[in-house]
Amino acid sequence: MIKHNAIELLAPAGQPDCITAAVRCGADAIYLGQKQFSARSSAHNFDEEEFCAAVKYCHERGVKVYQTLNTLAFDEELEQIKNYIKIAAQCGVDALIVQDLGIAELVKKTCPSMRLHASTQMTVHSPDGAKLMEFLGFKRVVLAREMSLKEIEDVAKATSLELEIFVHGALCMSVSGQCYFSAMLGSRSGNRGQCAQPCRLPFSSTDKPANDLSLKDLCAVDVMDELLKIGIKSIKIEGRMKRPEYVAAAVSSYRNALDKKQVDTDALRAVFSRSGFTNGYLEDNRSPDMFGTRQKEDVVSANSVFKSIQNTYKSETPRIALEFEFRLKKGEKAQLCVTDSDGNQAVAMGSEPQQAISKSTTKESAQASLSKLGGTPFWLAKFDTDIDDGIMVPVSELNALRRECCDKILQIRGETKPKEFLDFAFQKSERKINSTPNLRARFADIKQINFENINYLDKIILPLHQIEKNPNELESIKAKCIIELPRVVFRQEESMKKRVESLYNQGFKCVMAQNISQVNFAKQNGWACVGGFGLNVTNSMSAIKLEEFGLSDVTCSVELKLSQAKKLCTAVPIGVMAYGYLPLMLTRNCPIKNQKSCLDCAKQSALVDRRGSVFRVACAEGYSEVLNSEVLYMADRLEELSMFDFMTLYFTVESKAECQRVIENYVNGYRKPQHFTRGLLYRGVL
């Protein structure tokens, strides 16, 4: 019998067998995807027939279904995505989980009654971020996995939005939605459900072999009480790529934890782990102990427990409470009325009772037959009778009445409740094009700027902390300056606002937002705001939505091909990243710390992969960025950037002389260097 707690237990389903395992082991809801746009393209996923059958099966048993539609979309895919939304509406899905603002807008236009859940890929990690999701019409937000319990509590206090957090499964090294590692190395985008997990391969910051980009799996069974106190609505298990036994073991463990029963963590670890588990983010303890890889002994231990786990979901689990009313009166047909916990009702009629010869039908004998609910998802909560003395009906007839009523209840519960779908045609408008893109440069450090020769630059972007330290040196060019806000601001949101306000009062009037919450509070405070690459703009609908929030220009995603980026349609200028060692990962747990202390690092470290490629690591504002091993270079192909309003040179580790030389190359057009990459501007992503 499944108890229903204040916290929803949400399970993954990458294939039909996983649904059965999740439901029978006690999940309150499942999340699954159709064949595309679901952030786990390598899972089996569900075609239309399988998908609708899965929704029906779950709804029969009182389990909600959330469809993942949580990838970035291109303009040419919006029509196909609209069809996926239509299928979800027709099947009666309970909510859609989305990452892309454009897809969210498409859902609101076509199926306004559909609940929207903000995916963890949206990088919501602060009170302002959650409040913005609420303003945009989302009903729930899946918070970033890198948050501590205290940070989660801060968000809970600031919004009435439902909060969902991951409690078990794989941890990405990068903050979700901010990883371009797999995309840049092999065109398989994590933001598009195609991640090849190169981070699980060897990367080391020293001469010793190591896996400095691989974290252990998350396990939070020990903090259920804390999550309940905070007011978390849903706890989520990662694993749509995993087999049914994993789903069963994880769901059973967290069901036991919620029900205050003992959890066998050894069995949970045996079914899947990477050198054990970690709870470092939730406990605010980001130490080397968080790192781990999948070892041979992990695989062996899994094989030893699969058979016993399979036995846990062989048969139906009682989930739905039923109330029986049985009426047996002389001269009337026997009648059974069954009502479930949601108020659904079924009635079955039998024959008139016979005069009892040896044994009469009593309340006790009737209940003994009618309460045999094994093999069904039902359990008997209440049994009332009105039976005359001295009469009887055969046990076979009682069994037939029970089966008929249970079948009817199951049928009623599984009836599709479609949501209204409205057709919507997105009308693209033509964008005004600059004949020559303006040139802007982002510097990691003010020391990289040659102040005697910056007339070529239309805008200069500097991190917040650099402008704070050097306002006087920037006095003469502050009209050109853009304040680059930190890409993530765990527990520093209010502090950051005060810092920006101080600079605003000194005459620095423009900020660059790298996550959507920053766009919103820039608008609320009247600051000019431009959009950075971290906003992941890959389609016109998302660009237009950001335009509505007051962005004065937008830098498109580094995962767009030039041909796709040129077609973005919005009233505000569109720019492209044209140079730089681009950040491929944004991490809260510095990968260098797996082997070195901050003192040993001195901000001069790098990771080396198994082929000898060097990925430098930059850190500031409480997070680190893993930079690409090759520099993006386009100075020899400037004519192919002419469709953009501006292009950005992204300087990170270069010297002042190198920065100046690159700027001159982009002004004059120059041959390509010996070692470089075109990034994804031509090959794009899957």
Contacts 24+ apart (CB under 8 A), 51-58: 51/87, 51/91, 52/87, 52/90, 52/91, 52/416, 53/16, 54/13, 54/16, 54/19, 54/30, 55/91, 55/92, 55/93, 55/416, 56/91, 56/414, 56/416, 57/19, 57/23, 57/414, 58/19, 58/23, 58/30
Q: Are 497 and 523 in contact (CB under 8 A)?
A: no
| Buried b or exposed e, range 358-382, using 16+ CB within 10 angstroms | eebbeeebbbebbeebeebbbbbee
Residues 6 or more apart whose Cβ sits within 8 Å of residue 96: 66, 67, 68, 69, 85, 88, 107, 114, 115, 116, 117
Answering whether pTM is above 0.75, one says yes
Q: Where do the domains of the chain lie, and which CATH numbers do they carry?
A: 8-171+215-313 (3.20.20.70), 320-414 (no CATH), 438-580+630-668 (3.20.20.70)
Element (H, E) at 397: helix 395-414
* Whole-number pLDDT of residue 453: 84
Amino acid in position 33: G
* Whole-number pLDDT of residue 28: 97
Q: Are 331 and 352 in contact (CB under 8 A)?
A: yes
* Whole-number pLDDT of residue 38: 74
* Whole-number pLDDT of residue 317: 93
* Token pair recorded at residue 309: 């786990």
Q: Are 488 and 175 in contact (CB under 8 A)?
A: yes
The residue among 99, 114, 112 whose CA lies nearest residue 68 is 99
* Token pair recorded at residue 258: 């919620």
Q: Are 106 and 540 in contact (CB under 8 A)?
A: no
Strand order in the sheet with 345-349: 345-349, 335-340, 320-328, 378-387
Residues 6 or more apart whose Cβ sits within 8 Å of residue 57: 19, 23, 414
What is the C-alpha to C-alpha distance for residues 51 and 446, in angstroms, rounded to an integer?
54
* Whole-number pLDDT of residue 43: 65
The residue among 394, 396, 400 whose CA lies nearest residue 357 is 394
- Blockwise average pLDDT, block size 10, the chain, 686 residues: 82 95 97 83 80 96 96 94 95 97 96 97 95 95 97 96 97 96 95 94 94 96 95 96 94 95 89 91 94 83 83 93 96 97 96 92 95 95 96 95 97 95 83 81 97 93 97 94 96 93 95 92 91 97 92 96 93 95 96 88 89 95 96 95 95 96 92 91 95
Q: Classify residue 174 by its DSSP letter.
A: S
Helices (H), 560-655: 562-565, 598-601
Q: Is 452 helix (H, G, I), strand (E, B) or coil?
A: coil
* Token pair recorded at residue 252: 């059973």
* Whole-number pLDDT of residue 44: 74
Q: Are 13 and 55 in contact (CB under 8 A)?
A: no
The strand pair at 583-587 and 623-627 is best described as: antiparallel
